[in-house]
Chains A and B, each alone.
Chain A
Amino acid sequence: MTDAASIVLPNMAARRVAGTVRAIVRTLLFALIIVWSAFPILYVVLSSFKQQKEIFKYPPDIIFTPTFEHYMALATKWTGFFPTMANSLIVAVGATLLACAASILSGFVYSRYANRFLAGSVLYLIAIRLLPPIVVTLPLFPVVDALKLSDTHIVLIVLYATFWVSLCTMIMKTFIDKIPRTLDEAAVVDGATTMQTLFRVIMPLALQGVAACAIFVFVFSWNEYLFALIFTTQHAKTAPLIISEVMDAVSGTNWGVLFAGVTVQLLPVTLLVMLAQRFLIAGLTAGSVKG
């Protein structure tokens, strides 16, 4: 019979070693995730501060003297850039406002009213998200042209909002469901109309849902490419479109300025997403439960 103590001790040592190995492996994996997620972005951002000739040096410099020359040159060397950024902003804000307004109203109705049509239309709302957006561009293109709405902000605002309004309605419904109905009743007894109940009582308590919807729509609209490609040419061109055009240029690309522009384009929304992750995650789980 072996000594009980001698059985225990080697196991403990082995377990401690295994524990440390596990910890190292996990740290490495987390580091890998960080590199995978952030490296491409960091590459562009850092390169935008490098001198033109250093950008494509191999192996690339990690330590270098930063320069702001590309940023200074953005307005002059890439004349289309800032106007398209302004367009992106207008379109993103517009789509977000439209989508949020529409889905707050409809999410409230889906939460607080019961009806056969309503229950059936939930299926319709889900099914409609399964439609590839590119399919509707075919009939919409001539219509938009005929209405003289081609290359306007309105087109994109309406299109972007429409493609999100069904998911956002479900997200708002999920959040509003959590608010007890007795609050609605107390408001009615206090003399509130339906709209007053919605805006004074329900919405303040469902702000998380509104934030989630707003982030989804804003990020999408800021970054969208296909619709911008098809429906805008000049006047309402958004930033992703102009970036893609520079990409296609065979030669003579001013990489430094391009990277500076790209950094300017990606920075606001990336920061927004990073800071507002709480709402995003809440919205994701709410939307998936219903969807």
Chain B
Amino acid sequence: MVAINIDRFVKRYGALEVVHDISFDIEEGEFLVLVGPSGCGKSTILRMVAGLEEISGGELRMQGVRVNELSPKERQVAMVFQDYALYPHMSVEQNIGFSLELARVPNAEREAQVKRVADILQIGHLLERRPRELSGGQRQRVAIGRAMVRKPQLFLFDEPLSNLDAKLRAEMRGQIKRLHQTLKTTSMYVTHDQLEAMTLADRIICLFDGHIAQMGTPHDLFDRPANVFVAEFIGSPTMNIVPVTASNAEGRTVLTLAGGGEVSLPDGTALPSLTNDGNVLAGIRPEHLSDTPTPGATARIDGVIDMLEPLGSDILVTMQAGEVTLTARCTDKGQFQAGQNLTLHFDPARLHLFDSKTQMRLG
């Protein structure tokens, strides 16, 4: 059941249009993540849904009802801000209960609600403290509590984990995921971190420059990126994208890399129809490149090791093949040395091809 419709959203600042005709739905109880680099419009869209920015064009519908003109409170949305936006002069209890106070909920009821929420978030012992006495993670939980207590129709998260260090971020990610599993409130989450998007989302909308680059489940975006932007944005380390020329020679399909290096594909490898004189962009993820041949990894590429980055149990190997650089993620057995010759193997099925002019996926 569709809870929220974003129908042809447009945002203009004067003559400048920053969000171009964006449409998507959010299902009831779904955790939708908007992800993209700075300036892609994700925060703008979130704020339009919240009611903090005017909707220049298009319609926002909640439960089928148009709500463009309603205030945030009337839309029953709650928001967790990037800088937490906790009221510094109020205690944790007053912060969480502020919306109830404004709605003139009787004291006893309000206290009970605040306590309930604080217990779920495990901040019950902090109710009397001021925000400045709390750690980053605690403040974040108060901000979430403030949103939770209103039992909203829609949770909005505006890059809530950006201000936390890596370890805390991982912890809070888990908390948010668990919270969603318990409460099942429809949620829209904005972040620039693709890892957050992948781990938290039921569905991801990847945005670029005010347009939707791709919409789908995390698997969709990871396994079948619709264009080069999504291919490079999702997944870490970044997918290798190299320009190649495809040609048929002696019944084999050969992909020639710039500088003369070759990727041999086994006979009969089916490649989608190639346009553009055979100029394409080929993409392969570092995880899918291996230094050891495995069944199925029938394609090969040769080169010279340029740089090594140990990760602990794995190692990132950067290789020069002709004029092209490739990064592979391999198990670290101490077998590599810079300057060595190296052959990388991969399964051609793992190859992604993109039109080098339109940047769109082929096949």
B-contacting residues of A (Cβ < 8 Å)?
Answer: 180, 182-183, 185-192, 196, 200-201, 204-205
Q: Assess the B81–A191 pair: CB atoms within 8 A.
A: no
- Chain A min CB distance to B353 (Å): 44
Inside 8 A of B77's CB, which chain A residues have their CB?
189
Q: Does B146 contact A (CB under 8 A)?
A: yes
Inside 8 A of A180's CB, which chain B residues have their CB?
83, 85
Give the contacting residue for A186; candidates B79, B89, B103; CB below 8 A: B79
Contact status of A191 and B85, CB under 8 A, knowing A185-B52, A186-B79: no
* Interchain CA distance A196-B89 in the complex, whole Å: 15
Contact status of A190 and B89, CB under 8 A, knowing A185-B52, A185-B81, A196-B102: no
Q: Assess the A188–B72 pair: CB atoms within 8 A.
A: yes
Inside 8 A of A196's CB, which chain B residues have their CB?
102
Q: Assess the A190–B83 pair: CB atoms within 8 A.
A: no
Q: Which residue on chain A has the smallest CB distance to residue B81?
A: A182
Can you spell out 7 A-B residue pairs with CB atoms less than 8 angstroms apart? A185-B85, A187-B98, A189-B78, A189-B99, A190-B73, A191-B73, A204-B89
* Interchain CA distance A268-B218 in the complex, whole Å: 70
Inside 8 A of A183's CB, which chain B residues have their CB?
85, 87
* Interchain CA distance A189-B84 in the complex, whole Å: 13
* Interchain CA distance A238-B114 in the complex, whole Å: 53
Interface residues on B, range: 20 to 34
Q: Assess the A191–B52 pair: CB atoms within 8 A.
A: no
- Chain A min CB distance to B299 (Å): 51
* Interchain CA distance A205-B102 in the complex, whole Å: 19
Q: Does B88 contact A (CB under 8 A)?
A: yes
Give the contacting residue for A190; candidates B51, B52, B88, B146; CB below 8 A: B146
* Interchain CA distance A189-B103 in the complex, whole Å: 12
* Interchain CA distance A103-B323 in the complex, whole Å: 67
Contact status of A205 and B72, CB under 8 A, knowing A190-B98, A190-B102: no
- Chain B min CB distance to A175 (Å): 14
- Output the residue of A185, A189, A191, A201 with the most chain B CB within 10 A: A189
* Interchain CA distance A189-B99 in the complex, whole Å: 8
Q: Assess the A189–B102 pair: CB atoms within 8 A.
A: no
- Chain B min CB distance to A259 (Å): 45
Q: Assess the B102–A182 pair: CB atoms within 8 A.
A: no
